[in-house]
A and B are shown apart, each in its own frame.
Chain A
Amino acid sequence: MAAAAISLKGASKTFGSDRNRVDALVDIDLDVGQAEFLAVVGASGCGKSTLLRLVAGLLAPTRGEVLIGGRRIDGPDPGIGIVFQTPVLLPWRTVRRNVELQLDIRGISTPSARQHVDELLNLVGLSGFGDRKPYELSGGMQQRVSICRALIHDPSLLLMDEPFGALDALTREQMNLELQRIWMETRKTVLFITHSITEAVMLGDRVVVITPRPGRIMEIVPVRLPRPRDFSALRVPEFHIACDRVRELMNAAGFTE
């Protein structure tokens, strides 16, 4: 059996000590398959970002271990790309140069790699915007740039922490469809964090529900819907069954939307 793309074994993360102690995550066991789209939902403060940071190697687990492609990590794995809720673009670089930042920092900025930037910008619908500055773009477009930046070095893992949380509803739905298309074209393993149930079910092969204080995996809900999914396909009962199940679990955990 091939090694899981991401694997957490009894991973826990505690912040602070004594009276200020916060058990952000406790005993997380989770395997994410190759090319799987795994969505994670939970109330705010339940440890979703902490989970992503553990997988990204930005935080070390207090107990347990995190493996990527079967190898235990102690720092960011070379094969990851991250998208945060804010685009975090460098304002002095153009769109193209922002995407190339990933290549510059990793020291892999070859002419062919740079050519790939235009293909990626094309893929996210930003062709012709390469020479613009980030502040000339809308929030949704800026987030697309940050997605390109997370993909340009061809990582095997795409880690996304509420990437569309700051966008308006319409842009968000559009971005959901685009992300699904990009994922189907590039076949990355995606860890997608959100607090929107609809978004999680719409995109995920499975939806992990996390309970707050301490953060634990409550249940993993599989979503058996054909791809590509679009908003009309979501009228099918399976979609609502999955949504209801996730909502039920979150309500049981004391979550009110």
Chain B
Amino acid sequence: MQRLSGLAYPLAAVVGAVVLWYAIVIVFHVPKYILPLPGAVYQRIVEDWTFLMYHSGITLYETLGGFALSVILGIPIAIALVASRTLDRALMPWLILSQTFPKVALAPLIVVWFGLGLMPKLLITFLVAFFPIVISTVVGLRSAEREMLELAESMRATRLQMFWHFRIPLALPNIFAGLKVSVAFAVVGAVIAEWVGASAGLGYLLMRANANLDTTLLFAVLAALMVIGVVLYYAVEILERVSIPWHAVIRLADTATTA
């Protein structure tokens, strides 16, 4: 019952937005190449379903690949940074600096170096998506309370045990927060990668639709991107609930006692 009413608000917002959309197009006589009617977009999605699915599949593949790369490299990088003060001092400033740099600007260079295959797309997606994982994992690994670490030390835990039994599991809530940001970034990364050089994928379709002033297709692609983003986000959230159920329970208990 609670879930249902929770869903009612966003649904009402969507209905409101679509009504507004119709109203604007009809009242102001907006031409189709500027803003097509929602119905037309819907019709286009239905007509071009297999075509859209094909390109969505490619973008999804690149997104997941780049995201996987971000997880596989990002978490160990964060562990290394926390484990070694030297590494932290040597690399952290550069990592942070690298984030002030627009990664999109690197995309053409990566295409020059690695060509037009899958590899450069994974690389660009990785560049866009890995940082939130590194930062939130570092924060999580450092968040263990002093007593917890002293307890481990009093048990004469090795450094490996310290990470495996204490620091990493305690960091999981932060890691998942980072994964949620990262997976959304990964979609953006894949689209950027396709803009720079691709012959398929939703990013490529966006460019093509734009060149042809095919605004209806543009909207159809945006819808597909939105679906991919939402589905991936909730997939991570479900994974979070399954792997750290204790976190949700503690959060609930905390809000219950503070309420």
Residues of A in contact with B (beta carbons under 8 Å apart): 53, 56-58, 75-76, 78, 80-82, 84-86, 88, 90-92, 101-102, 104-106, 133, 135
Contact = CB atoms under 8 A, between A and B. Distances in A.
A135 B250 contact: yes
Nearest to A59: B150
A106 B145 contact: no
A56 B149 CA distance: 13
B80 interface: no
B165 A58 contact: no
Interface stretch (B155-163, B175-183, B207-215): B155-163
Nearest to A104: B165
Which one of A75, A85, A101, A102 has the highest number of Cβ atoms from chain B below 10 Å of its Cβ?
Answer: A101
Contacts of B166: 90
Dominant secondary structure at the B interface: helix
B152 A105 contact: yes
B147 interface: yes
Contact of A91 (B154, B161, B250): B250
A86 B147 contact: yes
A34 to B, nearest CB: 20
Given A76-B153, A76-B156, A86-B147, A135 B249 contact: yes
Contacts of B147: 84-86, 88
A133 B247 CA distance: 12
A136 to B, nearest CB: 9
Given A78-B156, A135-B253, A92 B246 contact: yes
Contact of A133 (B145, B152, B169, B246): B246
Contact of A82 (B151, B161, B250): B151
Contacts of A101: 155, 165
B165 to A, nearest CB: 7
Interface size class of B (residues with CB under 8 A): 20 to 34
A245 B203 CA distance: 80
B148 A106 contact: no
A85 B145 CA distance: 13
Contact of B154 (A80, A92, A133, A135): A80
Contact of A105 (B145, B157, B250): B157
15 contacts: A76-B153, A76-B154, A80-B154, A81-B154, A84-B147, A85-B147, A88-B145, A91-B246, A91-B247, A92-B246, A105-B152, A105-B157, A105-B165, A106-B156, A135-B250
A106 B155 contact: yes
Contacts of B250: 91, 135
A154 to B, nearest CB: 14
A90 B155 contact: no
B244 interface: yes
Nearest to B156: A76
Nearest to B157: A105
